[in-house]
């Protein structure tokens, strides 16, 4: 187990726009945006101190959910590798890679290669998945996804730790006498576990280097953190863990348009105060998302956050 967020820091990352176009979060201008816009966003993230950028994971969105989720979900590893080649410091993360969809050795090989090619910047964010129709399309048992995820994480961690992993897995059998390289630059490559259900919290506590909550409201964060840390202490003692959160939508400054009543906006000092409340809970990494009407407004918001908000984030 390892932590990668420096002590005392409250770092920030983002799940990228353009690479996924669900109506839940996509802005109107993204409908016609592609590689050039994505390139500008990730290079701006690299320039403006983002700790990570993240790419989602869906293979095929089934009807009728495609009407809302849309069908544009860029391939996770291909996109992260492309991003790594365009950037120098920002970490590249899956948020989240669905464990049931591939053999764990396939996942391990993809991310150890990504880590080598990126110079040690990969974070493997994992999850059990939620789209039942996608599981059925792939001939997978949706009800078993939690147990599959637990077994897969164990096999992946063994493969990321040793070139010749030796592990007995309930689902994948005895993995031995087979080597995987290139070896990851990071030792160990961090595995952050996504989800906010009790099962996901236990998984993060027992198997994760970090936690990526999914949709936990601000007022429920302290209780979920307490539950996770209690589970971790029982399982692993005092092993540290990088705790995350997803902030409300942000707009730095006073918007001249309706950004919605669920958006934190206004003076940077007010935004800093609200975000530092997460740091006081024990959170070490924030996932932020900005309201915007154009690519340029998004880039401007990222720059404003870097200049006026980020220097004052604490935990």
Q: How much of the chain, in percent, has pLDDT values that exceed 90?
A: 99
CATH of the domain at 195: 3.20.20.30
161 in a structural domain: yes
Q: What global pTM score does this model have?
A: 0.97
69 in a structural domain: yes
Across the range 20-29, mean pLDDT stands at: 97
Residue 215: per-residue pLDDT:
86
Burial class (CB in 10 A: 0-12, 13-18, 19+), 274: middle
pLDDT tens figures, 193-227: 999 999 999 999 999 999 999 989 999 999 999 99
Residue 201: per-residue pLDDT:
98
pLDDT tens figures, 85-95: 999 999 999 99
The rounded mean pLDDT for the chain is: 97
**Band of residue 1 on the pLDDT scale cut at 50, 70, 90:** confident
1 in a structural domain: no
Q: How much of the chain, in percent, has pLDDT values that exceed 70?
A: 100
* Domains identified in the chain, total number: 1
3 in a structural domain: no
101 in a structural domain: yes
Contacts of 231 (CB under 8 A, 6+ apart): 201, 202, 205, 206
pLDDT tens figures, 172-195: 999 999 999 999 999 999 999 999
| Separation between Cα atoms, residue 188 and residue 199, nearest integer Å | 24
Residue 99: per-residue pLDDT:
98
**Residue 80: both structure tokens together:** 């992260």
Range of the domain at 105: 11-312
2 in a structural domain: no
5 in a structural domain: no
297 in a structural domain: yes
pLDDT tens figures, 125-177: 999 999 999 999 999 999 999 999 999 999 999 999 999 999 999 999 999 99
The SS3 assignment for 186 reads coil
């Amino acid at each position: 187990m390892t932590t990668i967020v420096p002590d005392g820091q409250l770092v920030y990352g983002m799940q990228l726009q353009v690479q996924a176009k669900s109506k839940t979060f996509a802005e109107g201008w993204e409908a016609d945006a592609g590689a050039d816009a994505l390139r500008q966003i990730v290079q701006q993230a690299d320039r403006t101190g983002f700790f990570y950028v993240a790419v989602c994971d869906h293979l095929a969105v089934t009807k009728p959910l495609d009407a809302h989720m849309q069908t544009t979900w860029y391939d996770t590893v291909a996109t992260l590798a492309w991003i790594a080649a365009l950037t120098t410091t920002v970490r590249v993360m899956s948020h989240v890679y669905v464990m049931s969809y591939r053999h764990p050795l396939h996942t391990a090989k993809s991310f150890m290669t990504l880590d080598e090619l990126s110079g040690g910047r990969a974070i493997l964010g994992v999850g059990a998945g939620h789209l039942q129709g996608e599981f059925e399309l792939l001939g997978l048992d949706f009800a078993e996804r939690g147990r599959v995820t637990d077994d897969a994480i164990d096999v992946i961690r063994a493969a990321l730790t040793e070139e010749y992993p030796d592990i007995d897995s309930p689902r994948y059998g005895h993995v031995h006498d087979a080597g995987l390289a290139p070896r990851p630059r990071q030792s160990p490559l961090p595995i952050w576990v996504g989800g906010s259900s009790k099962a996901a919290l236990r998984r993060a506590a027992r198997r994760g280097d970090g936690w990526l909550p999914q949709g936990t409201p601000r007022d429920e964060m302290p209780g979920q953190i307490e539950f996770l840390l209690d589970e971790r202490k029982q399982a692993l003692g005092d092993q540290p863990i990088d705790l995350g959160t997803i902030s409300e939508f942000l707009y730095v400054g006073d918007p001249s348009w309706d950004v919605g009543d669920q958006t934190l906006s206004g003076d940077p000092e007010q935004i800093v105060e609200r975000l530092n409340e997460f740091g006081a809970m024990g959170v070490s990494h924030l996932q932020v998302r900005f309201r915007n009407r154009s690519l340029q407004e998004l880039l401007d918001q990222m720059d404003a956050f870097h200049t006026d908000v980020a220097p004052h984030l604490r935990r």
